[in-house]
Structure 1
Amino acid sequence: MEFTIFTAYVAATVLTAVANAGIATLDFIHHKQVLENMAQVDVPESWLPVLGTLKAAGAVGLLVGIIVPPIGTAAAVGLTIFYIGAIITHLRAREYTIAPATAYLLLAVVTLAQEWPHKPSHGIRTLQSLKER
C-alpha cells in the first residue's frame, strides 16, 4: 500500500479517536486516577459524565469525519478547545502536571491540521473517492 497524506490523516484520526475513547471510558467508570486529578484541580466528580461524553463525542466525530469531513473538523476543533480548557483549569489550580492534557491537545491539533487538505468541495467523501486515494 502506498503511503499518502490521506493515509497519515486516517492514522492520526484513528489514533486520536482511540485515545479519546479510552480516556472517556476512564471518565465513565470513575477511574481512581481520574478522580484524583479532578480533585487536585477542584473539578467536581459530578462533571465526569459530561466530560466523558464530550471526549466520546469527539472520538466518534473524528471517525465519522473520515467520510463526512465537516463533522471531523468540528470534532477536532471541539477536542482542541476542550484540552486547552483542561490545561487552563490545571494552571489556574496551580497544578502543573499538564503532560497528559498537552498530549491529547497535540493529538487533536495534529488531526485538525490534517483535516484541511482532505475536504472535497461537496463535503462528503464517497466510497469511490476513498478507494482512489
Structure 2
Amino acid sequence: MIHFPVAALLGLVAVDVAYLMSRDPFWARAGLWLAGVGAAGGWIASLAGLVDLVTVAPVRRLVTGWCHAVIAVMMLSLASMNWLLRFGDDQALVIPWGLYVSLLTAAMIALAAYLGGRLVYEHAVGVDTEE
C-alpha cells in the first residue's frame, strides 16, 4: 500500500528540480498530480498502520511503532500541505516553497522507512513466525 505514495512523493523532488531548471509548466502540473497521489495514497495506507497500532498489543508497546506513526503523520501532513500549495496555481509556489517541502517530506520518508524497517526486521511486526 505504501509503494505508490512513496514513489510519488520521492518523484516529486525530481519533478520540482526539473521545474527549477527548465521552468516548463509541464513539470509544475506533474508535481501537482504527484503531490496529490502521494498525499491521498499515503493517508489511505496510513489507515492500515493505524489499525495495526491500535489493535495489536505488542505493537502498541513498542516505542519504535509510536515514533514511526508520529513521523508518518507529520510527513503526510507536509505532503498534504505541499499539494495545497500547488492546487490553486500549480506554478506559483513551486519555487521555493514546493521544493523545500518536497525535500523535507523526502527526508521524513527516509526516517519513517528506517523505523518501519526496524519494526519488521528487529521486532518482527507483520511477520509470521509460526512454523
Under TM normalisation by the shorter chain, which class is it?
A: 0.3 to 0.5
| Structure whose residues are more often helix by fraction | 2
